[in-house]
Amino acid sequence: MGAETSPSAAEPRLSPSAAPLPADHPGVLELFSVLASGEIAAFYRLADEAKFSPSLQGKVAFAQMAASEMRHFEILRTALEERGVDIYTAMAPYHQVLDAYHDSTTPSTWLESLVKAYVGDGIAADFYCEIADMLDPQVATVVRGALAETGHSKFVVQEVRSVVERSSTQKDRLMLWGRRLLGEAITQAQYVLAQREELAELVILASGDLSNIAALIDRMQVEHAKRMAVLGLH
């Protein structure tokens, strides 16, 4: 979470004639909960991965990104508390699955950490921003606020490109890493939807039908490829 969203991710993709889903749909609380869980997981991940940085600049950049994740978490905490929901109880069902994703995509190098920070979180942002297009405007505002860019994308791009332009070996490794991030993110998203009925219903209603969900995932792959290209990984 806390992704570096792409401009196209914010553009409405779903039918403009369909009415927004009501703000009291039970899936909205599930959506806020999974996003909040993602923000906390991202905070600790960024704070931990800062140790890989060979420079103070990198450590500071990741610390600032982690701080942004906490600001996003507070947006979601407020939204849940306004609805009378305890955020820690709400997040509990998602803790294990998000930890599983991060455990399966733990970077082993600073470059892998940079790529994950830039493209990994963007995968989730693409998915949820498209869903937000069909939500009640107030709910959509919360979702987009929680998925706002954490910043420092220029720093990440410069760091990665400076290496991959000089080393085809590093480029090949990071391209494989990017594909792994995409595959694991889609797998975990499917698992969550299979386990959480109300969230799955929200996603299906927002998308229109199951075939549109498949198309949404296809667009996620396209946006992922664009981010990889920005890093010189194409």
Does 123 reside within a domain? yes
Residue 210 has pLDDT above 70, yes or no: no
Helix (H) or strand (E) holding 208: none
**pLDDT category of residue 16 using cuts at 50, 70 and 90:** very low
- Per-residue pLDDT at 151: 65
Q: How confident is the model over 13-29, as a mean pLDDT?
A: 70
- Per-residue pLDDT at 234: 87
Q: Which ranges of 50-86 would DSSP assign to H, the alpha helix?
A: 56-82
Does 3 reside within a domain? no
Q: What angle do CA 70, 72, 74 make, to 5 degrees?
A: 70
Does 6 reside within a domain? no
Which among 225, 124, 233, 128 has a CA at the least distance from the CA of 184?
124
Separation between Cα atoms, residue 18 and residue 16, nearest integer Å: 6
Does 10 reside within a domain? no
How many structural domains compose the chain?
1
Does 7 reside within a domain? no
- Per-residue pLDDT at 115: 94
Does 156 reside within a domain? yes
Separation between Cα atoms, residue 212 and residue 63, nearest integer Å: 37
Tell me the CATH number at 148: 1.20.1260.10
Other C-beta atoms closer than 10 Å to the C-beta of 210 total 10
Domain span holding position 92 = 21-230
Per residue in 71-83, pLDDT (tens digit) is: 999 999 999 999 9
Phi-psi region of 2 (alpha: psi -120 to 50; beta: other; left: phi over 0): left
Per residue in 131-180, pLDDT (tens digit) is: 888 888 999 999 988 887 766 678 889 999 999 999 999 999 999 999 99
Which among 134, 115, 85 has a CA at the least distance from the CA of 233?
115
Does 5 reside within a domain? no
Does 11 reside within a domain? no
- Per-residue pLDDT at 36: 94
- Per-residue pLDDT at 97: 83
Cβ-Cβ contacts under 8 Å for 177 (sequence gap 6 or more): 112, 115, 116
Q: Mean pLDDT in the chain?
A: 84
